[in-house]
Amino acid sequence: MTRRFWPIVCATGLTVSLIGTIANDGHAQRGAARGGRAAGGAAGSAGGGFSREGPAASGGLSSRSSGAPAQQTRARDTGENQAARQDSRAGAQASRQQSRSSAQSSRQEVYEDEHWDEGKGLAVAATGALIAGTAAAAASAVAAPPPAAAVPSSQFATPAATPPPPAAAPCASPTSVPVGEVTYSKCGSTWYTQAYGANGLVYVQSAPPPGS
């Protein structure tokens, strides 16, 4: 009788363990499935080189891809018998719309205050129409970039691990015109000035230099 006792105990324990393991695996798989939801969106991309821009570049705790408060305004239905009441209603409606618009504007400001690191500024700085080239794009556009001048800089505490990339230019052979602190570069008939963007030097389309 004792000989039958322990095999039964062990078999029962093993069975329960197996059931537990299977249950845990199932739970984990359901969890993974829950975490795998996808949604639509768009990431920016530049023409020549690979784009460095995108929501993940900001490393922010908020993203512009979603989560922004809705900005829709609702149209108010009107019927044929509303003509008599239209004046007073129009006044009241204007007042409500104004307060609603003000409230929306206020909510938007609060949202932007709370989500200040969502990359809105990055998007402004990277507006394609204004940025003529970045270091990466320009480096790929220039046929034969000059060898990088490895200028030692006392500004950095540690030496560079990788040789620095060549300085950027807005096109292969721009005409440069320094005016005070600003250097204007001309490519064809378009003028650019240098600016400091999220990823370093960028070229921004500009008006011609004064006196040109």
Partner 1 sequence: MRRQTSWKVWVAAFLCAAFVLTVGPSDAQTPGQSPSDARALLLRMADLIGKTPRLSVTVHSAYDTVQASGQKVEWNEIRTLTLSRPDRLRMEAEKSSGARTLVVFDGKEISAFDESSRAYARAAQPGGVDDTLVYFVRDLGMRLPLAALFLSRAAIELDGRVRSVEYVEKTGILGSPAHHLIGRTDSVNFQVWISDGEQPLPQRIVLTYPAARGQPEFRAQFSAWNLTARPADSLFTFTPPANTSKIPFATALAQAAPRPGGASAKKGVK
Return the amino acid letter for 174: P
Among 25, 26, 30, 43, binds partner 1 (CB under 8 A): 43
In the bound complex, what is the minimum distance in angstroms from residue 168's beta carbon to partner 1?
6
Phi, psi (degrees; rounded to nearest 5) at 77: -70, 140
Q: Show the binding pattern over residues 6-35: x = contacts partner 1 (CB under 8 A), - = does not.
A: --xx--xx--xx--x---x----------x
Q: Should residue 154 be labelled a site residue for partner 1 when binding is judged by CB under 8 A?
A: yes
Length of the chain: 212
Query: What residues from 100 to 119 belong to the interface with partner 1 (CB under 8 A)?
Result: 112, 114-118
Among 70, 156, 173, 211, binds partner 1 (CB under 8 A): 156
Q: Select 122 or 187, whichever has its Cβ closest to partner 1.
A: 122
**Rounded alpha-carbon distances, angstroms, from residue 151 to 10, 90, 156:** 74, 69, 12
Residue 55: Cβ within 10 Å count: 20
As to burial, measured by CB atoms within 10 angstroms (0-12 exposed, 13-18 middle, 19+ buried), residue 122 is buried
Q: Select 126 or 171, whichever has its Cβ closest to partner 1.
A: 126
Return the amino acid letter for 47: G
Tell me the window of 71-79, 88-96, 100-108, 147-155 that interacts with partner 1 (CB under 8 A): 147-155
| Total residues binding partner 1 (CB under 8 A) | 91
Tell me the window of 37-45, 78-86, 89-97, 98-106 that interacts with partner 1 (CB under 8 A): 37-45
In the bound complex, what is the minimum distance in angstroms from residue 101's beta carbon to partner 1?
23
In the bound complex, what is the minimum distance in angstroms from residue 97's beta carbon to partner 1?
27
HSE-CB for 159 with a 13 A CA cutoff: 5
**Rounded alpha-carbon distances, angstroms, from residue 180 to 77, 192, 208, 212:** 60, 15, 14, 14
